[in-house]
Amino acid sequence: MMPAVLLDQVVNTSYGQFTLEWGGSGDVWDGNADRFFAEQQNGWIGAAVEGTVVVVLARYGGGSAMRVELWPEEPPTDLAWEDSVEVSMIVGPGGTVAWGTWTWTESGTLALPPGSYRLRANARGRDAGHAGEFDPDVVDYYLLQFWPAPPSPDAVVRTTSDNATYWNESWGSRRSSS
């Protein structure tokens, strides 16, 4: 089982922002964690607003390696990734999925067909990315894996970095207790 690779490049970002948007919702990331992370346990992949997924990278600025894959079914868990979380999203008919960094300085589209997906976001080097925010070399790596699946609550799969722990505690844990 091999994935389709939708993106594989270094993305240069500011404010650690990498966003996916589709469906023309116009609901762009505005820094409102309460809205984009509502009812979530994780704090670095915000998927609570329909038509938008916010990925909070560890680096404030500079280049981070980003690979995006589409799998026909759930991919195997790879323990080489230090941090992993999962969220659900639904891409409606005619919804082109665009990706962009802060103010869409770098952007493009992903060939992600309409449907209901699970997204596993994997990271390695978040602590190095945070410590070396302006390092000229790539020090943090991200793998976004999509596969068809019905919607379900987000999940923190694995957290080993201090940076992911910080975001999960700061912007995550917003699920109501009822």
Residue 177 lies in a domain: no
The CATH number linked to 60 is 2.60.34.30
- β-pairing, 155-158 with 107-110? unpaired
β-pairing, 61-70 vs 45-46, is: unpaired
Structure pTM? 0.93
3-state secondary structure of 12: strand
Is residue 43, in this structure, part of any structural domain at all? Answer: yes
83 occurs within a structural domain: yes
Look at the block and give the residue holding tokens 């680096």.
59
Q: Is residue 165 part of a domain?
A: yes
If one counts the domains in the chain, the total is 1
Write out the chain's pLDDT in tens, 178 residues.
Answer: 799 999 999 998 877 889 999 976 555 777 788 899 999 999 999 999 999 999 999 988 788 999 999 999 999 999 999 999 999 999 988 778 999 887 778 899 999 999 999 999 999 999 988 888 778 889 999 999 999 999 999 999 999 999 999 999 999 987 665 4
Tokens of 147: 């596969």
Sheet holding 45-46, edge to edge: 45-46, 52-56, 17-21, 97-101, 107-110
